[in-house]
Structure 1
Amino acid sequence: MDHSAHSDPAASTQMDHSAQDMDHAEHMAAMNDDVAGAEAVLTSYRDALTSRDAEAMAALFAEESFVYENGKAEGSFTHYMEHHLGPELDAITSFTFGEPTLAVTRMGHMAYGRETYTYRIELADGRVIDREGVATSVLAHDADGWKIVQYHSSSRAPRNN
């Protein structure tokens, strides 16, 4: 029996994958740009904290966000700003970060960040707070760019190592 009329065309035809042949360097550059955008959001958050700019901070968070600080679920960033961070900002005269490290890993339309830092807060009543801190964050990318969807930070008094 002759089966030539029913042969598998894929078996005898070379497939064209040229549309999928993105240059590896171009692909890595695109990935790095995406990571750089997520890094920029986290750096901008730190900068907005030091300048005590509530509006700039809020713009970096997704509407459906979650904040955790030192073992407490603070709710959305809006709730956190209204009930925790906002009132604290009014009492701060100086907020500085030292020794920040930041690493971001991209996973599709999501990225996660890991940070370490020290910070110093000077309050209007003269008190000074020195701390060592860490943070992890989850960011999502959409048509508007990167937004923080979850942020978890904790800190402790500096320890002599």
Structure 2
Amino acid sequence: MIPVPDLVVLLALGLCLFAVVGSLIPLVPGAALSVGGVLLYWWNSGYADPGPFVLVGLVGLALLALVLDWFGGAVSASAGGASTRTTLAAAVVALPLTLVAGPVGLLLGVAGTVFALTYYENEDVEESARIAAYTTVGMLASSVAQALLTAFVFLGMLLVVIY
């Protein structure tokens, strides 16, 4: 029979589970919630469980997801050919649209801004569309990667708690 975990353990697991969902929702710091859940559990165990290698692995996965969250869109925009100015403008335009229209506002705000500013710079519809599409696909791929990484952290924490 598996013992019933205490409230802090449930909270730590809840943070890790919400991190998976949060990694797919704009403006929710999913990866940071994973780090918080792992460290809360570690603190609650008296810094004994998980062991140092598992702790570093779980926190490392969560930090990698955090880096993807912060820089994934900018890296994909840059790799697609968008200028730094265009990337920054897309971030500024997408933020209020995300607050109003959620994930759709984020994607449309970024794609539309990248397309419009790239077209303004080069007057090439096909090239501007390609860069906007590359940026949008990169952002979506970054979100999927974040969800997978935070899911691995959650599953790792489940194993730590059960065993």
Rg larger for: 1
Q: TM-score, normalised by structure 1?
A: 0.31
Where relative contact order (Cα < 8 A, 6+ residues apart) is larger, the structure is: 2
Structure with bigger strand share is 1
Structure with bigger helix share is 2
Q: TM-score, normalised by structure 2?
A: 0.30
